[in-house]
Amino acid sequence: MSSPTAWSPEWSNAVFSVEERDRRWKRVRELMARDGIDVIVCLPCTNSHDRGQADARYLSQLGENSDETTVVFPLEGEVTAWHSRGGIWPSSSWLNGVRAARRGTGGQTVAARLRELGFERGTIGVAGLTSSLLGHVRETEGEVNWQSVEIVKSAFPNARVVTATDVLGEARYQKSEEEIDFIRKGAAVAERTIEAVIQHARAGVRERHVFAQMMFANADAGGSFQPMFGWISGPLGRTYHRVEQPTFRTLQTGDVLSMEVEGRWGGYIAQLDQTFSIGPAHQDLKDGLQLTWESFNRAFEALRPGVTVGEVWEAAHLTGINGRAETRLLMHGRGLGDDGPLVTSLVTPEMRSLEIKEGCSFILKPNTGVDGRPDYGSWGESVVVRKHGAERLGTRPQHLFEL
């Protein structure tokens, strides 16, 4: 039986409309023209739970389950993409087929195609070459393969090689309705995953068993791979630090389980944060989580077009329990990758002054510390900024689960 020769919705992952493709490509090309970039190249980068390929996925939809993806996106003309095997893929509905490239040959592949297109001169933008306020925010030094970039530079000594992070970060900052719908579906996947924790986490149960049930629920709900689960567990006030995999530990009565749960739909990432108590919750945990919810609600209420990141951050800062407790807001962009701004305990002047716009999507996830110790209540949800305020993309209540 021969391979399919045309993309079909019967053999597909979650994909966007052709109208969404045209909207994105038009916007990116407008920004390229503004900044004098003739062509953007996306080199394979599966870093950070595949968030490193966000730009390639934004332009092509390709990259399910960390498949290496290479894209050449010119200011005018055909967009070309490569996987390890050519032909039709479940997410290739935007393209006239996908070319084949050997794994680990992004630089050679791009150089050959740029030569075909006649880009010996001009300006070549490399996605992920640097970090910016809005894109690749966790990769201060960039995250593309150095040797691949050197191959491109050596092949075109008369060309100017620049970063494309600013262009793509700006294009991706405000989301379309189709993008928001994908994040909403990701939130539904994450909620299904949280239900697995509620059903299976108990004293005496292995952490790995709970994690396995989460992975099953996430995939069964239609989630894209690979999701990230941030995992903090241990006795209240003495929790083990956040890891992204479970240990061989067994849950114990009196533990607190604080989790970041991703749900992905078509690669778009929603995140929900949830706190669980293994057995009856200590009063400090109840009080701390109550403060966390108030912090979230205040940040949510402040989140609207025209306000700055600094205003939202300040709205979420609270103290309580007779001065013993203090909240801290973590907030960052949500979409395909490590989107900005990345608001942690370090809020730079540039970040504080960043204007929030309609269509921006974020994870708001305050947490509370008590007596200088962390993990006394974390709760977060992905939200989108609408014309008159914020909208939650999940549906679960603010609730402390005592399992």
Domain-embedded: residue 10: no
Residues 89 and 192 in one domain: no
Residues 26 and 158 in one domain: yes
Residues 240 and 168 in one domain: no
Residues 290 and 339 in one domain: yes
Are the C-beta atoms of 257 and 251 separated by less than 8 Å?
Answer: yes
Query: Rounded CA gap, 69 and 45, in Å?
Result: 8
pLDDT per residue over 228-265, tens digit each? 999 999 999 999 888 888 889 999 999 999 999 999 99
pLDDT per residue over 311-350, tens digit each? 999 999 999 999 999 999 999 999 999 999 999 877 788 9
Residues 220 and 100 in one domain: no
pLDDT confidence of residue 3: 67
Domain-embedded: residue 152: yes
- Residue 392 scores a pLDDT above 60: yes
Share of the chain above pLDDT 90, in %: 88
Domain-embedded: residue 185: yes
pLDDT per residue over 176-235, tens digit each? 999 999 999 999 999 999 999 999 999 999 999 999 999 999 999 999 988 999 999 999
Query: Rounded CA gap, 232 and 255, in Å?
Result: 10
Q: Closest Cα to residue 323, out of 296, 291, 295, 277?
A: 291
Residues 49 and 198 in one domain: no
Mean pLDDT of the chain, nearest integer: 94
Residue 205 burial class via C-beta count within 10 angstroms: exposed 0-12, middle 13-18, buried 19 and up: middle
Residues 105 and 234 in one domain: no
Q: How confident is the model at residue 389 (pLDDT cuts 50, 70, 90)?
A: very high
Residues 144 and 187 in one domain: no
Please report, for residues 60, 64, 115, 216, the alpha-carbon distance to residue 22 in angstroms, rounded to integers and kept in the order given.
11, 21, 26, 35
Residues 159 and 199 in one domain: no
Domain-embedded: residue 9: no
Please report, for residues 61, 127, 224, 229, 263, the alpha-carbon distance to residue 219 in angstroms, rounded to integers and kept in the order given.
19, 29, 7, 13, 9
Query: Rounded CA gap, 233 and 249, in Å?
Result: 9
Domain-embedded: residue 324: yes
pLDDT confidence of residue 2: 61
Query: Rounded CA gap, 148 and 303, in Å?
Result: 41
- Residue 1 scores a pLDDT above 60: no
Query: Rounded CA gap, 123 and 117, in Å?
Result: 13
**198 CB neighbour count, 10 Å cutoff:** 11
Task: Enter the pTM of the model.
Answer: 0.96
CB contact burial 61-85 (16+ within 10 A = b; e otherwise): bbbbeebbbbbbbbbeeebbbbbee
Residues 164 and 276 in one domain: no
Last residue of a domain, one of 131, 151, 172: 172
pLDDT confidence of residue 64: 82
> What is the separation of C-alpha 371 from the centre of its chain, rounded to a whole number of angstroms?
32
**Whole-angstrom distance between the N-terminal and C-terminal Cα of the chain?**
51
Are the C-beta atoms of 340 and 174 separated by less than 8 Å?
Answer: no
CB-facing half-sphere around the CA of 328: CA atoms within 13 A: 14
Last residue of a domain, one of 150, 172, 194: 172
- Residue 95 scores a pLDDT above 70: yes
Query: Rounded CA gap, 289 and 304, in Å?
Result: 25
Are the C-beta atoms of 275 and 367 separated by less than 8 Å?
Answer: no
Query: Rounded CA gap, 356 and 338, in Å?
Result: 17
CATH classification at residue 283? 3.90.230.10
Domain-embedded: residue 7: no
CATH classification at residue 120? 3.40.350.10
Domain range for 394 is: 177-402
Query: Rounded CA gap, 375 and 245, in Å?
Result: 18
Query: Rounded CA gap, 219 and 227, in Å?
Result: 9
pLDDT confidence of residue 241: 85
Could you list the beta-strand ranges (E) of 239-320.
Answer: 255-265, 268-277, 319-320
pLDDT confidence of residue 247: 86
Provide the domain count of the chain.
2
**117 CB neighbour count, 10 Å cutoff:** 15
pLDDT per residue over 98-122, tens digit each? 999 999 999 999 999 999 999 999 9
The C-alpha angle with vertex 331 and arms to 268 and 64, in degrees rounded to 5, equals 15
Domain-embedded: residue 5: no
pLDDT per residue over 56-72, tens digit each? 999 999 998 788 999 99
Domain-embedded: residue 8: no
Residues 288 and 374 in one domain: yes
Residues 91 and 210 in one domain: no
The C-alpha angle with vertex 80 and arms to 223 and 141, in degrees rounded to 5, equals 70
Position with higher pLDDT, 306 vs 64 = 306
Last residue of a domain, one of 172, 204, 226: 172
- Residue 48 scores a pLDDT above 90: no
The C-alpha angle with vertex 144 and arms to 64 and 59, in degrees rounded to 5, equals 45
Query: Rounded CA gap, 190 and 229, in Å?
Result: 10
